[in-house]
Amino acid sequence: MNLINRINNFFWVFIFLISFLQLSSNETFSFITALIYSGLIIITLKLYTQLIFNQKVSAFLFKLNSVLLIFTLTLSCLFVALILSMEGFLVVNFTMGEEEVKLLIEEWKSLFFGQFLFVVLVTGLNYSFNQFKHFMEQEKELETVKRKALEMEINILKNQLSPHFTFNVLNNLQFLIIKDKDEALAMLSRYSKILQYYVYESQKKYITLEREIMFLKEYFDLEINRHRSDLAVNCHWGIIENNFQITPFILSAFVENSFKHVQPNSNNEFFVSQSLVVTQDSNLVFILRNSYDENITSKRPNGVGLEHVKERLKLLYPNNFKMVIQQENEIYSVQLELNLKQL
C-alpha cells in the first residue's frame, strides 16, 4: 500500500502545481493569492472526492441508471465549482484590493466554468485512481487467498506418506525377519527415522540443512536395501560445515519421485544418481538423475507432488532458485540451484 499512498500524494501535488501555475499566470492573482487559493482548491477537492468515493455514497451512486448518475455527478461538480469560485472571491478580497475584486466579478463566468471543468477533470482522474487502487487491493487479496490455499494443499501433502513406499518396506521387513533379523531391525530403525521426519519436521517452515541431509541419507539407505543389487544407486555429498536452513520436503520430494518412477530403460540402464553440493556463499546445487522406461512412464498420469514443489519454491524462495527438469534418452534429470537461508 506504500506505492498506492505515494501515487496518491503525487497526484495531489500534481493537481496543486497545475492549479497554482494556472492562477499565477493570471494577472488578477498575485503570487500569495494564487498560493492560498490553490491550497484551498486542493483541500476542497480532497474533501469532495473523499465524500463522492466513500463506500456508501459510491454504492448509492452506482445503483442509479446512467442518465441519473451523469446528472447527479454533473450537479455535484457544478456545486463544487460554485464553492471554489466563492473561495476565489474571498481570497482575492482578503489578500488584494477592491479593484482586483471588481475585475474578478467581471470574469466570474470564465472563472466558474474554468473551475467546473477542473473539478470534472480531477473527479475523472480520481475515479481512475480509485479503480486502480481497488484493482490492486483485489489482486493482493487474491494473492493471499492463493497463498493460503497452497499452504493448505502443502500441509495435506506433508501429512501423506506414500502407501506404495510403506507397502514395499513392510514387505521387505517381512522377508528380512525370516532371513536376517539383524538386517530387519536396521531397516526398521531407518524407517522409523523417516516416519519421524514426516510426522515432526514436516510441521516446521524451515529445518536445518543438516537434518534434511540426514533424512535423505536414511532414505537412500532404505531404498538401497529394498532394491539390493538390481538398482545402481550413486550419491555424492559435497557439503561444508554450515548453519543453513531449508524448507522440508523440497529435496526429499524429488528423491521420492525418482525412486517411485525409476525403471530399466531400453539401454539396460537402471540407476538413480544424486549429487548435492553446498558452497560457502549459501548456494545449494542439487542434481538428481534416474533411468525410466518411456513406454511405461508415458502411460502414467502426471503427479501433483512436483507441481507443488515448484509452487512452494516460488512462494518461499522468490527469485532465489533456478530449476531445470529434462527428459532425454530415457533419463530423467532435475537440477535445482537454491540460495539458502541462514539460522
Considering the domain architecture, whether residues 140 and 164 belong to the same structural domain is answered as: no
Q: Cβ distance 159 to 202 under 8 Å? A: yes
The highest-confidence range among 13-17, 50-54, 241-245, 272-276, by mean pLDDT, is 272-276
**CATH code where residue 175 lies:** 3.30.565.10
pTM to 2 decimals?
0.54
Residue 152 lies inside a defined structural domain of this protein: no
Residues linked to residue 284 through DSSP beta bridges, in sequence order = 278, 338
In this prediction, residues 66-77 reach a mean pLDDT of: 84
User: To the nearest 10°, the Cα dihedral for 45, 46, 52, 57?
Assistant: -150
Instruction: Find, among 288, 287, 289, 278, the residue nearest to 339 by Cα.
Output: 278
Name the residue type at position 198: Y
Q: What is the arrangement of strands in the sheet containing 271-278, beginning at the earlier edge strand?
A: 232-238, 271-278, 283-291, 331-339, 321-328
Considering the domain architecture, whether residues 141 and 165 belong to the same structural domain is answered as: no
Q: What is the CA radius of gyration of the chain?
A: 35
Residue 310 lies inside a defined structural domain of this protein: yes
Considering the domain architecture, whether residues 125 and 219 belong to the same structural domain is answered as: no
Q: Cβ distance 288 to 234 under 8 Å? A: no
Q: Cβ distance 261 to 292 under 8 Å? A: yes
Last-in-domain residue among 147, 169, 185: 147
Helical ranges in 159-236 per DSSP H: 163-179, 181-199, 209-227
Classified as helix, coil or strand, 310 is helix
pLDDT per residue as tens digits for the range 77-106: 888 888 888 888 888 778 876 777 677 677
Mean pLDDT estimate for the chain: 79
Q: Output the pLDDT for position 199.
A: 67
Considering the domain architecture, whether residues 124 and 259 belong to the same structural domain is answered as: no
Instruction: Find, among 280, 199, 278, the residue nearest to 246 by Cα.
Output: 278
Of residues 67 and 2, more confidence is placed in 67
Q: Output the pLDDT for position 298.
A: 57
pLDDT per residue as tens digits for the range 103-144: 767 777 777 888 888 888 888 887 777 777 777 777 777 777
Q: Cβ distance 291 to 263 under 8 Å? A: yes
Q: Output the pLDDT for position 202.
A: 66
Q: Output the pLDDT for position 337.
A: 93
Q: Output the pLDDT for position 159.
A: 52
Considering the domain architecture, whether residues 137 and 22 belong to the same structural domain is answered as: yes
Among all chains, which residue has been given the C-alpha cell 492562477? 23
Q: Cβ distance 85 to 112 under 8 Å? A: yes
Residue 115 lies inside a defined structural domain of this protein: yes
Residue 153 lies inside a defined structural domain of this protein: no
Q: Output the pLDDT for position 168.
A: 58
Considering the domain architecture, whether residues 140 and 63 belong to the same structural domain is answered as: yes
The residue segments making up the domain with residue 85 are: 2-147
φ, ψ (nearest 5 deg) of residue 122: -65, -40
Q: Is the pLDDT of residue 301 over 50?
A: no
Name the residue type at position 144: T
Q: Other CB atoms closer than 10 Å to residue 270's CB: what's the count?
A: 17
Q: In the chain, what is the straight-line distance between the N-terminal and C-terminal CA atoms, in Å?
A: 30
Q: Output the pLDDT for position 333.
A: 93
- How far is residue 217's CA from residue 190's CA, in Å, rounded to a whole number? 10
Residue 154 lies inside a defined structural domain of this protein: no
Considering the domain architecture, whether residues 94 and 180 belong to the same structural domain is answered as: no
Instruction: Count up the domains in the chain and report the number.
Output: 2
Q: Other CB atoms closer than 10 Å to residue 108's CB: what's the count?
A: 12
Q: Output the pLDDT for position 332.
A: 93
What is the CA angle 35-6-318, rounded to 5? 170
Last-in-domain residue among 147, 180, 201: 147
Considering the domain architecture, whether residues 142 and 167 belong to the same structural domain is answered as: no
Considering the domain architecture, whether residues 120 and 208 belong to the same structural domain is answered as: no
Considering the domain architecture, whether residues 285 and 252 belong to the same structural domain is answered as: yes
What Cα–Cα distance (Å) separates residue 250 from each residue in 179, 207, 307, 336?
36, 11, 11, 10
pLDDT per residue as tens digits for the range 142-184: 777 677 666 665 555 555 555 555 665 666 666 667 666 777 7
- How far is residue 255's CA from residue 201's CA, in Å, rounded to a whole number? 17
Q: Output the pLDDT for position 150.
A: 64
Considering the domain architecture, whether residues 177 and 113 belong to the same structural domain is answered as: no
Residue 226 lies inside a defined structural domain of this protein: yes
Among all chains, which residue has been given the C-alpha cell 497463498? 147
Classified as helix, coil or strand, 237 is strand
Q: Output the pLDDT for position 20.
A: 85
Last-in-domain residue among 117, 147, 177: 147
Q: Output the pLDDT for position 53.
A: 78
In this prediction, residues 243-266 reach a mean pLDDT of: 86
Considering the domain architecture, whether residues 172 and 120 belong to the same structural domain is answered as: no
In this prediction, residues 229-245 reach a mean pLDDT of: 85
Q: Output the pLDDT for position 236.
A: 92
- For the chain, strand residue ranges (E) read 207-208, 232-238, 244-246, 271-278, 283-291, 321-328, 331-339, 341-342
Residue 192 lies inside a defined structural domain of this protein: yes
In this prediction, residues 215-222 reach a mean pLDDT of: 84
Q: Output the pLDDT for position 234.
A: 92
Residue 25 lies inside a defined structural domain of this protein: yes
